[in-house]
Amino acid sequence: MNPRWNDLNQMFGAMDLLRNRMNRINRLFTDYDRAWGGNEGWPMANNWPRTNLYDDNDHLQLVAAVPGLAKEDINIKLQGNYLEISGTRKVTVPDGYTAHRLERGGETSFSRSFTLPVDIDIDKVEATLKDGILTLQLPKAEVAKPKKITIN
Amino acid sequence: MSEKMELVNREEQSPVAGSKAPTVVPSVDIYENDDEILLYADMPGVTKEAIAINLENGRLTINGHRKVCGSGTAQLEEFGEVEYERAFSVPQGIDINKVKANMTNGVLSLHLPKSDAVKPRQIEVQAG
């Protein structure tokens, strides 16, 4: 083989390796950035509870991860398209026990507010709590629902 | 092509590591009293059917799977499908047969009772 050609080939080989390395690093970073990767967050952080918002044309659905909260611990306030979820998480050392490890953040109050993208039919909102997941079904106000327009 | 390049190509064809649900370490609180060790783990969205607890050779492993909650087009998504996974070494003297687990509001509570042999005991002094 021509020695020049060999050099070239080697260079491309090195570039490929480098590109591969970069891909791997990038992958690491997307995983790192991913909100639900690694730690699930602490109540004292201002983005607690972790929340998802979905839109299925007629409804908005807000889903929040609130482990350890009973329904009495949560306050939900809705005004127009302004939604506020607040409450207190009671995580206390049980009587007569000594603590070895405390990662769950102790007793903390939290508050998180959202400006929803559309107005909501407040009377028809439903909230459920199951397995530490709070789900709000938020029907869109009639004016905010998508309408099909027929062409004359 | 050189051997090196083939190796590179092969790795590029391999499935991307992030294609399965990411593994998350649940936050835990661990307490102890004279009778038991008590563990709480935050696992929101995990049903009691989707959780597996194993105690083997002094190693306690907790596994829980959470499916995606919610439907529709995501406008904001801060959590999703995860695989909760955590392992602990359990000290000797735990009565394995009496371990009890409970799932309430997305929090796993695990009671690990101590066997009688390791419980603290008051020794009464006999008059002789």
| B 15-34 residues with CB < 8 A to A | 16-18, 22, 24-33
Neighbour-count burial of B20, counting CB atoms closer than 10 A to its CB (0-12 exposed, 13-18 middle, 19+ buried)? exposed
pLDDT digits (tens, 9 = 90+) for A8-60: 777 777 777 777 666 665 554 444 444 444 455 555 556 789 999 999 888 99
Q: What is the mean pLDDT of chain A?
A: 81
CB-based contact B23:B81 (threshold 8 Å): no
Contact B27 A103 (CB under 8 A): yes
Alpha-carbon distance B15 to nearest alpha carbon in chain A (angstroms): 12
Whether B4 contacts chain A with CB within 8 A: yes
Contact A103 B107 (CB under 8 A): no
CB-based contact A74:B106 (threshold 8 Å): no
Whether A56 contacts chain B with CB within 8 A: yes
Mean pLDDT for each 10-residue chunk of chain B (128 residues)? 52 52 90 93 93 91 88 87 92 89 94 86 84
Report all structural domains of chain B as residue ranges with CATH numbers, in order of start.
20-69+78-117 (2.60.40.790)
**3-state SS class at B63:** strand
Taking alpha carbons only, the member of A53, A57, A107 closest to residue A85 is A53
Mean pLDDT of A64-70: 93
The structure's pTM equals 0.72
ipTM: 0.75
Q: For residue A11, which phi and psi values (nearest 5 degrees)?
A: -65, -45
How far is it, in rounded angstroms, from Cα B99 to Cα B87?
A: 16
* A135 backbone φψ class: left, alpha, beta (φ>0; ψ -120 to 50): beta
Contacts of A102 in chain B (CB under 8 A): 29
How far is it, in rounded angstroms, from Cα A35 to Cα B78?
A: 5
